Every structure is written in C-alpha cells, then in structure tokens.
Amino acid sequence: PISIAGAHVRDAGSTAVEEMGFTLANGLAYVDEMLRRGGDVNHFAKRLSFFFYVHMDFFEEITKFRAARRVWANIMKDKFGATDPKALMFRFGVVCGGSSLTAAQPLNNVVRVGIENMAAVLGGAQSIFTCAFDEAFQIPTEQSAEIALRTQQIVAHESGIADSVDPLGGSYFVEHMTDQMEAEILKVMEDIDDYGGVEKAIEEGYIQMKIAERARERKEKVDKGERIVVGVNKYQ
C-alpha cells in the first residue's frame, strides 16, 4: 500500500540513527491507523516497504539497516502480534548519493556512489538507485547516467558481495555496532513517544527542528575541517 520514506530526512541532515528512528516511527503510525480501521496486520504489513539514503560511513550505513530490520520485526511481532513471517519483513530501497555528493571534483562521486552501493548490498537492500556523479550541479548526462548504472552492474556481477544474504553476519565489529545502532534507534523512537507521538512531533515541528540541528552541526564540522570531505575541505 505504501513506501514509507526516510530518504528526505537523511538528505536534509539527520543522522543515520535518526533517519531510521523517525522513519520507523512513521511506519508504526501507519500500522496503528490501519489497525484502527479494522485491517489485518498479517495482510497489510506484507505490503509495507521503506525508502532511505545511503551516505558515506560504510559500516554505519550497513549496521543501520541490519538494526532497523531487527527493530521492525520485533515490534511487528511483539506489539502488533504479526505471525506471518512476511509481515515481519523490513523491505527497503535506497538511493546512493544525494547530499553526500559534491560539486567540487565531481569525478570523486563515482567512488562515493560505488562505496555506498556496496554498503546498500551488504545491508540487505531490495532495490538500489545510484546517483550520477554530476547530480550535485546539473541534470545527469547520458554518460554519467551510464556510469551510475555500470556501478551497480559491476557490484552485482564482478564483486561477489551479492552472493550471500548477510556476508558480514558474525563479524564482532558489525554485530557490536548493529546492537549499538538498535539501542540508539529505539531511544529515538522512545523520545518521539514521550513527546506525544510522531504525528504531533511532525505537526509541531519537533522532528524538523532535530533535522535542522543535525544539518547545522554537520556543516560546522565540515567548515572547521573536523569532518573531511575530499576535494571540498581537504585535497582541494
């Protein structure tokens, strides 16, 4: 019935944790409303999907998806009583690129999109859109769009990383970070509940304020050189 989007939240400035927390909270609001109308969770939940951005912190992006998948399944099972395995599934598509791309030294974006593409696969994305390297400053050309497509095809057919469903599963670092990510996502969702729910939080600008704060923090870190963006504030 619906694809619940968190991509715009991430690209506007939120952290990876907030992107997941805000979006899952939105998803649960749809579930609550469907149940209020008499819907069967085992029926309609199988048709819910999500949509996110992938940015450049490789393991953070992978683990945010692994953690969110667990959070969603547990809530659907424990809170809403879903019993159909398909109603517990966290299906999602992604965009690789967006505000992580730079107008400065634009060919660097080919590398960025490639890294993000691999993170999406390792995180378990069902569909992937790869941005063209010139999208930071113009409508993509035929050549740049083809490179974006070839990036996916090289990852799919040459890298071997798509041969396993969860190739990083069991890694101490990845599992630890996934656990940490899960706890932080649940904290964001708890804060929204404490505020009065996601609908109130949106209507009163609480979530928008959080996103704006994160965007300002990120820009300040880039401006000060605390967060390195190659070609923008280092190796210019």
Nearest to 222 by CA among 236, 207, 210: 236
Whole-model pTM: value is: 0.95
Nearest to 98 by CA among 141, 151, 135, 125: 135
User: What whole-number distance in Å separates Cα of residue 16 and Cα of residue 218?
Assistant: 12
What are the pLDDT digits (tens) for 48-60? 999 999 999 999 9
What are the pLDDT digits (tens) for 8-46? 999 999 999 999 999 999 999 999 999 999 999 999 999
**Distance between alpha carbon 73 and the CA centroid of its chain, in Å?**
17
Q: Binning pLDDT at 50, 70 and 90, where does residue 96 land? A: very high
